[in-house]
Structure 1
Amino acid sequence: HEGAATKAKIMHCDIITWNILICPRVELDEKGVLRVKWRGILVDWELSKTITDDGHAETAPQGVSGTWKFASVYILSNPKKPMEIADEIESIFHVTLYNSLCYLRHTCKSLRDTMSDYFDHF
Structure 2
Amino acid sequence: MRFRIVLTIIAFSFVFRGIAQSFEKPLYKNTNASIECRVNDLLTKMTLTEKVGQLCCPLGWEMYTKTGENNIQLSEKFIEQMDQMPVGAFWATLRADPWTKKTLKTGLNPELAA
- Smaller-chain TM-score bracket: under 0.3
Give the TM-score taking structure 2 as reference length: 0.22
Task: Flag the structure with more relative contact order, 1 or 2, with Cα contacts below 8 A and sequence separation at least 6.
Answer: 1
TM-score by length of 1: 0.21
Structure showing the higher helix proportion among its residues: 2
Give the number of the structure whose alpha-carbon radius of gyration is greater.
2
Structure 1 or 2: more strand by fraction: 1
